[in-house]
């Protein structure tokens, strides 16, 4: 396996860089840009179910900590109840566009955290996040290849 591809996969799976950092590195390999796009997008999308599982598991254990439990019940539950009635189809569209924007902290990790926090349907959230990752990957690929200029 090419070192650039391996580093691209690693960067695509890290919370800070995701595909925004992985694709430019991966494109330096000898593989096709289309193949790089699909491989690195796949590995970034692969993170979403793991983040959901991780958050569900950790939250149960953190609720046993008195400080976390009080903080969560006092502030977080209030925010969740406030937005719970307002969440609908458009919340998934908003989640898609949030992940779609190729900017720092707007990737799959944050999208999964937002979906978990607002107790959104995990299946629909996964679809919205996956489509957002594909869109962001396309933008980053085109910009990295010089086919699309942001400024």
| 83 C-beta neighbours (distance < 10 Å), count | 12
Give the residues of the chain that fall short of pLDDT 50.
none
**What is the per-residue pLDDT for 81?**
72
Query: To 5 degrees, how large is the angle CA 20–CA 24–CA 27?
Result: 135
Domain range list for the chain:
45-145
**What is the per-residue pLDDT for 103?**
87
**What is the per-residue pLDDT for 124?**
96
Please tell me the distance from the alpha carbon of residue 20 to that of residue 116, in angstroms, as a whole number: 23
**What is the per-residue pLDDT for 35?**
95
**What is the per-residue pLDDT for 149?**
63
Note whether 33 and 141 are within 8 A (CB).
yes
Please tell me the distance from the alpha carbon of residue 113 to that of residue 111, in angstroms, as a whole number: 5
**What is the per-residue pLDDT for 117?**
87
**What is the per-residue pLDDT for 82?**
72
Q: Reduced to 3 states, what is the DSSP secondary structure of residue 149? A: coil
pTM, two decimals, is: 0.86
């Amino acid at each position: 396996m090419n070192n650039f591809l391996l580093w691209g996969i690693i960067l695509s799976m890290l919370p800070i860089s995701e595909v925004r950092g992985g694709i430019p590195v991966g494109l330096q390999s000898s593989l096709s840009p289309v193949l790089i796009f699909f491989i690195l997008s796949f590995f970034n999308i692969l993170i979403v179910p793991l983040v959901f599982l991780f958050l569900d598991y950790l939250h149960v254990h953190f609720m046993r900590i008195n400080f976390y439990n009080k903080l969560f019940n006092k502030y977080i539950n209030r925010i969740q109840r406030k937005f719970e009635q307002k969440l609908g189809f458009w919340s998934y569209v908003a989640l898609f566009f949030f992940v779609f924007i190729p900017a720092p902290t707007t990737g799959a990790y944050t999208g999964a955290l937002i979906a978990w926090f607002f107790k959104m349907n995990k299946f629909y959230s996964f679809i919205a996040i996956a489509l957002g990752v594909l869109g962001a990957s396309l933008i980053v690929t085109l910009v990295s290849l010089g086919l699309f200029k942001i400024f």
